[in-house]
Amino acid sequence: MGQLHTKTILSLFLITFTFLQCSEKGKNNDAILSLLALPLANSSSVGPCPPTSLPTNIPIANTVVSASSNVSGFSDSSKAINGICGGGEFSGSLDVYALNLTGAGATIILSWAGKTVKNVTGIDFVIYENPFRVSETNDRYAFDPMVVHVSFDGTNYCGFDLSGFNPSVADSNKISSWPGFAGLRPVLYNMATKPLTLDELFTSTGSGFLVGGGDGFNLEDLIVGGPGANCDAAARTNIQTNGFKFIKMTSASAVTNPNTSAGYVYPHSYNNGSDIDGVVAKSVE
């Protein structure tokens, strides 16, 4: 395991202490979940990131089409396109653009400056947020899930299947409880301190994890309809055939779950939604 950053070590100490306290009192893990959700501003940024120049062989989304969050200290939308600055398995980056929990500020739309992300074999793009694993010995993560949509024309947006969402409070911070969402897996890729090739970024290590971390999506998995989408069969076919130009990311709490008529809410104490570090495509033209 790599060296942990001071603030991350402190967070893990507090989590362990709370776990012991709750166990002694016979309580459930609600308190633990709240502590796991300490604002990611308590995590440490790492290294000289963002880099002074972006690698030319990594097709990162480089244009902010729409962004309007007002999260104090994290409302600079350029941080969503200035490079991937992952903090590793146990620490979240601070070089991010934070979405609001609800409203217009809960969404950001990025593009590749007019270029088209193509539908190629396997994963077509990876989204990087700033989650981190709670401890070395479990499968629990502190994360801010987001809903992902893509569009060719900037009007018709298609997304992915979220119907597997059905977590209880006890397992709501497990990645397996949020199929189809982004913002779940730690970001190992850091353009300044851990450079990786494009092939490495799209190489699987198993169970949905990638060498560089983040959450990968395959355009073949797009669905017609879906929460927050305006996608018919023609729009989906167009994207799967020709690719997409725009990607829209929205805090899960701002998207209505048709089964509950409420947002997809992770029971945490954050005062903001998803934190966008960047998006990398496998192939653009």
DSSP secondary structure string, 120-144? Answer: -SS--EEEE---EES-TTS-BEE--
Sheet containing strand 215-217, edge to edge, reads 215-217, 125-128, 278-281
Residue 53 and residue 18 in contact, taking contact as beta carbons nearer than 8 Å: no
| pLDDT recorded at residue 268 | 67
15 sits in which H/E element: helix 6-24
- Stretches where the chain sits below pLDDT 70 are 1-47, 267-269
| pLDDT recorded at residue 13 | 40
SS3 155: coil
| pLDDT recorded at residue 242 | 98
Q: Are strands 209-210 and 262-263 parallel, antiparallel or unpaired?
A: unpaired
Residue 136 burial (CB < 10 Å; 0-12/13-18/19+)? exposed
Q: From CA 219, how far away is CA 35, in angstroms rounded?
A: 35
Residue 195 and residue 48 in contact, taking contact as beta carbons nearer than 8 Å: no
| pLDDT recorded at residue 142 | 92
Domain borders along the chain are 6-281
Query: Cα separations (Å) of 28 from 5, 16, 141, 268, 272?
Result: 29, 14, 17, 15, 25
| pLDDT recorded at residue 264 | 94
